[in-house]
Structure 1
Amino acid sequence: MGIQERKTRHKEDLRKRILEAAKKLFLTAGYDATSIRKIAKEIEFSPTTIYLYYKDKRDIIYALHREGFQVLRQNFQPLMQVESPFERLKALGRCYIRFAFTHPDLYELMFVMKDPMEYLEVNCVETEWEEGERVFDFLLQTVRDCQQVGYFKGLDPNHVAMEAWASVHGMCALYVSGHLKSMMQVVFESDDQEGMIENAFRVLARYLESTK
């Protein structure tokens, strides 16, 4: 390995450490209570080092936001090969739920915390949020394909896609926030959160299928 390659790897490793430390602090201490100094202390570097990679903590949370959407989009891409549009729609829903189960920290940052979206509104133009738009485009195109074979007749595909996303997001948000766990222990005397969400998703899928 050459000197330049080692330098590049070191930079990437440090960038990842900064993002992991920031993600931990954003989710445990809160965005407002997290400072560049605290992130630097978490990885045992000086604040000056972090400023070599990111302008400020808003820049960091946006980087985490983009990272999450890149991972989700990569998970979605193979599903576009599913020939049946409705089966693809169900597969996208299951994939989205699995993402929330597997990456609850990223999910909370992407879809629950308001701070990344506030950064987007102030600092970004449309072309700079390609990851988020492309993820929603997967869903929207699948809804349109479903309409071509008879589902969701007479409905605006944008509204159908938004309703489908909102329904699945509600389940995932309850899981990530811990509200589902508390409710299940009190009401259902069960800890099988994933099983509950899977069953709820089946109910949603049957409802959507009835639109044909």
Structure 2
Amino acid sequence: MGSKERILRLKEETRTKILDAALDIVQKEGWQSLSMRKIADEIEYTAPIIYEYFPNKEGILLELTRRGYLILAKDIREARDSHQLPADKMEAMWIAYWNFAFANKEFYQLMYGVDMVCCTVKNSLAEAENVGNMLAEVIESLFVKKPVSDDDICMKYYTYWSIIHGLISINLVRPNGRTTDDINQQILKDAIKGITLSINS
């Protein structure tokens, strides 16, 4: 490996180290505790070195948001590909979305601004659009009458998302007041099936 490749590899390793440290801090203390100084302390670097890789905290949040959407896209793709029928795909994809939210709580909070003082990161990332596009494609396949307008697909997407995101948010914000997992799963599946049935009624 040449010196140029070694330098690039070390830079990428340091960048990953910074992002991992930021996520570690958030998992222990919450998003409100994250600062450039804390990240520097965590990886035993000086704060100016962190600024060589990211211009500010928002830059780190943007990269972590991107990372979260990549994980979510993988989960949703796998769920979609494990079924044949559009209705089964739809249910599996939204259940994968649900499971992602609780397995990756910190990512979900950042990506969708749940229980955060403010969310300055915009969800106009290509990675976020990829997740939306996968869901939209399956929603379109649920319609019997073709062609399907973008407005109809969009309306159904937001119908699914608002109910599922709302249920996730309630459970993330009020973890002690959470209903049982069995009840949550039943509510989730009933909601998905109800919306799916309404598409062609």
Instruction: Sort the TM-score into its range (normalised by shorter chain).
Output: 0.7 to 0.9
Unaligned runs of 5+ in 2: none
Which residue does 2:182 correspond to in 1? 195
Query: Where does residue 44 of structure 2 map in the other structure?
Result: 44
Q: Work out the CA distance in 2 between the residues paired with 1:147 and 1:200.
A: 23
Which residue number in structure 2 is paired with residue 10 of structure 1? 10
Check 1:60–1:44 CA distance in 2 against 1; reply closer, same or farther (3 A cut).
same
Where do 1:129-144 residues align within 5 Å?
129-144=125-140
Distance 2:102 2:31 in 1: 21
State the distance in 1 between where 2:164 and 2:4 align: 45
Q: Tell me if structure 1 keeps the 8 A contact 2:66–2:127.
A: yes
Is the 2:90–2:139 Cα contact (8 Å) retained in structure 1? Answer: yes
Change (3 A) 1:96 1:149: farther
Matched to 2:140, the amino acid is R
TM-score normalized with structure 1 length:
0.77
Q: Supply the AA of the counterpart residue of 1:96.
A: Y
- What do the CA deviations read for 1:51-87 (whole angstroms, capped 9, x no partner)? 1211111111111111111111122223444431111
- In structure 1, what residue type is equivalent to 2:60? I
Q: Match for 1:200: what amino acid?
A: I
**Per-residue deviation at 1:157?**
1.8
Q: 2-side partners of 1:22 and 1:58: how far apart?
A: 12
| TM-score normalised by L of structure 2 | 0.80
Instruction: Work out the number of aligned pairs and report it.
Output: 192
Q: Deviations over 1:75-119 (max 9, x none)?
A: 222344443111111011111011112111111111124744x34
Q: Which stretch shows the higher mean deviation, 92-101 or 7-16?
A: 7-16
Distance (whole Å) between structure 1 residues aligned to residue 154 and residue 39 of structure 2: 40
RMSD of the alignment, in Å? 2.8
User: What's the % identity of the aligned pairs?
Assistant: 25
CA 183–197 in structure 1, closer or farther in 2 if over 3 Å, else same: same
Task: Please say if residues 80 and 93 of structure 2, whose CA atoms lie closer than 8 Å, have aligned partners that are also in contact.
Answer: no
| Structure 1 CA distance for aligned equivalents of residues 110 and 63 of structure 2 | 11
Distance in 2 of aligned mates of 1:173 and 1:67: 20
**Distance across 2 between alignment mates of 1:182 and 1:149:** 45
Aligned partner of residue 143 in structure 2, secondary structure? helix
Using a 3 Å threshold, how does the CA distance of structure 1 residues 202 and 119 change in structure 2: closer, same or farther?
A: closer
Structure 1 residues 37 and 8 mapped into 2: Cα distance closer, same or farther (>3 Å)?
Answer: same
CA distance in 2, matches of 1:34, 1:104: 16
Q: Identify the residue that residue 182 of structure 1 maps to in structure 2.
A: 176
Are the equivalent residues in 1 in contact too, given 2:40–2:46 (CA < 8 A)? yes
Unaligned runs of at least 5 residues, structure 1: none
